[in-house]
Homo-oligomer: A and B are copies of this chain.
Amino acid sequence: MTQAIPNAPRNTRQRAEVLALLREVEGFLTAQQLHQMLVAREARVGLTTVYRTLQLLVDAGEVDSTRLPGGEQLFRRCGQSRHHHHLVCRQCGRTVEIAGPAVERWADEMAARHGFTDVQHTLEIFGTCAACAR
């Protein structure tokens, strides 16, 4: 039995295909890139369903989503569900999951100092990975 999406009444072939692909890729990719990969492997999943499934997975906490400075939304199935950040290659999407306890403390301290509550933050590092630099 392929892994199912939590709280999804029905397990369809399409969702299994998206999940299978997400397990194979290592970087952050756009919905369209993932869809093209599915087309390439003849998985027969519509673009609409890719978008819907990704949103479902994000809501379930199974997939992380971030955005390039340009605004394009990226998706990735990370190895951990705990709070963490990402070092992402702009060209190929290769990603390193990073933790920064000191940064977490600094952000909360800054917010508290200015009287802000109900605090959250976004932090992503973008660059060109060694492989793409060549």
**Using a CB–CB distance below 8 Å, which chain A residues touch chain B?**
67, 69, 71, 73, 87, 89-90, 96, 98, 100, 102-103, 106-107, 110-111, 114-130, 133
Contact = CB atoms under 8 A, between A and B. Distances in A.
B111 A125 contact: yes
Nearest to A118: B128
B127 A116 contact: yes
| Number of copies of this chain that the complex holds | 2
A70 B27 CA distance: 21
A131 B69 CA distance: 29
Contacts of A126: 119-122
A122 B67 CA distance: 10
A121 B121 contact: no
A122 B120 contact: no
23 contacts: A67-B67, A67-B71, A69-B120, A87-B110, A87-B114, A87-B116, A96-B114, A100-B110, A103-B103, A103-B106, A107-B125, A114-B129, A114-B130, A115-B129, A116-B130, A117-B130, A119-B125, A120-B126, A120-B127, A121-B124, A121-B125, A122-B124, A123-B123
